Amino acid sequence: MRWIWIDRFVAFERGKSARAVKLLSRAEDHFADHFPGYPIMPGALILEGLAQAGGILVGDANDFRDKVVLAKIGKAVFHREMVPGECLTYDVEVVNLREEAATVAGRVTVGDELTVEAEVFFAFLDQSRAAELFAGRNFVFTGELKYLVDRMLATFRPPAGEKKGPGPDAAPA
Amino acid sequence: MPTQEEIYQKVSSTLVEALNVDEDEIRPESTLQKDLGAESIDFLDIVFRLEREFGIKIPRGELFPESIFQGDPDFVQNGRVTPKGLAELRAKMPFADLDEFAQNPEVKNLSDLFTVALITRYIQGKLSGSAA
């Protein structure tokens, strides 16, 4: 299973807030088992999407110097189930940001309807601590997450003098 | 300046949120780790919430020192805190009640210093300091 639970960023304000979207496709593997004949998006994967959006938001605030680790979900309220075919909007906002940790408030909406509220707490591991714990593997901002970060940067912070190209994941005009 | 009781009430409600405990489990003498089940990551969360709740800044390591003695033999010998170590604790944590700990200053008892009452005293000191 691919571990990427947001599709792209549609807004991004450095160190403050971000908005990402996630389309729910019936073809996603987990819907076959969660649950057979009654496909709903698992709450834990929605929280993971909020953590990915929030983690990129706070990771970017210090140029991805530290590894951002989901440490705690302070609270999570699920107002209703979400089903294949829906488009989820994930809004994340920095509540606290310090050198060693950050808190992000997350909200998921479908259209105007609020479906999830959660508070996500991240710990930052500096390179030496991360190397000690994870033997130097850069496991956070790699692979598909890195692609997402690169697309976000290209869309919202294109290098000076470069015209913003549309690209496959560009935000709609 | 809120009263000690008001501060205590706010500290309690902060801990209810951060540690997902019931309000009636919280007493002034409750220790964060043993009684209320706090884990290391919760300490940072508590700091964030206290900052928001009381509108104060808590510098890193001031309320919850990350590693108090770093294994310094001047401060710790045979698993016990030395008189010099106790003096260091009193200087770094004037808001801690060290008298009972000093009776049997084993390093493993250090976590028992961190009680609801300790946080309340710390906040009280912080608020009176900033009002001065």
Q: Residue A100 is nearest to which of B51, B52, B60, comparing CB atoms?
A: B60
In a 10 Å sphere around its CB, with 0-12 CB exposed, 13-18 middle and 19+ buried, how is residue A50 labelled?
buried
Phi-psi sector, A81: left (phi>0), alpha (psi -120 to 50), beta: beta
Domain shared by B46 and B95, yes or no: no
Domain shared by B25 and B9, yes or no: yes
pLDDT of A164 over the 90 cut: no
In a 10 Å sphere around its CB, with 0-12 CB exposed, 13-18 middle and 19+ buried, how is residue B129 labelled?
exposed
In a 10 Å sphere around its CB, with 0-12 CB exposed, 13-18 middle and 19+ buried, how is residue B91 labelled?
exposed
Where do the structural domains in chain A lie, given as residue ranges?
8-156
Q: Is there a contact between A104 and A57 (Cβ–Cβ < 8 Å)?
A: yes
**Domain containing B10 — which CATH number?**
1.10.1200.10
pLDDT of residue A59: 94
Q: How confident is the model at residue B132 (pLDDT cuts 50, 70, 90)?
A: very low
pLDDT of B29 over the 90 cut: yes
Range list of H helices, chain A? 30-33, 43-61, 127-134, 143-156
Distance between CA atoms of residues A59 and A100, nearest Å: 11
Scan for tokens 């990129």, then name that residue.
Answer: A56
Inform me whether the C-beta atom of residue A126 falls under 8 Å from chain B C-beta atoms. Answer: no
Range of the domain at B50: 1-64+114-132
Active-site residue, from A34, A107, A146, A151: A34
Please list, in sequence order, all residues whose beta carbon lies within 8 angstroms of the beta carbon of residue B31, skipping any fewer than 6 positions away. B111, B112, B114, B115
Nearest chain B residue (CA) to A73: B18
Reported as type and span, the H/E element at residue B10 is helix B4-19
pLDDT of residue A155: 92
Q: In percent, how much of chain B has pLDDT > 90?
A: 75
pLDDT of residue A86: 98
State mean pLDDT over A48-59: 96
pLDDT of residue A6: 96
pLDDT of residue A135: 61
Q: What tokens appear for B94 in the block?
A: 């004037």
Q: Which of A51-55, A68-72, A137-141, A144-148 has the lowest mean pLDDT?
A: A137-141
pLDDT of residue B22: 95
Q: Is there a contact between A109 and A88 (Cβ–Cβ < 8 Å)?
A: yes
State mean pLDDT over A99-111: 96
Q: Is there a contact between B118 and B97 (Cβ–Cβ < 8 Å)?
A: yes
ipTM of the complex: 0.79
Q: Is there a contact between A73 and A118 (Cβ–Cβ < 8 Å)?
A: yes
Higher-scoring residue by pLDDT: A135, A108: A108
State mean pLDDT over B109-128: 94
Domain shared by B89 and B33, yes or no: no
Contact between chains at A100 and B51 (C-beta distance less than 8 A): no
Check if A34 is active-site.
Answer: yes
Q: Average pLDDT, whole number, for chain B?
A: 91
The pTM (predicted TM-score) of the whole model is: 0.84
Domain shared by B47 and B107, yes or no: no
Q: Average pLDDT, whole number, for chain A?
A: 89
Q: In percent, how much of chain A has pLDDT > 70?
A: 85
In this structure, CATH architecture of domain A8-156: Roll (3.10)
Q: How confident is the model at residue B118 (pLDDT cuts 50, 70, 90)?
A: very high
Closest Cα of chain B to A57: distance in Å?
Answer: 18
Distance between CA atoms of residues A25 and B124, nearest Å: 53
Domain shared by B24 and B58, yes or no: yes
Domain shared by B26 and B51, yes or no: yes
Q: Is there a contact between A6 and A49 (Cβ–Cβ < 8 Å)?
A: yes
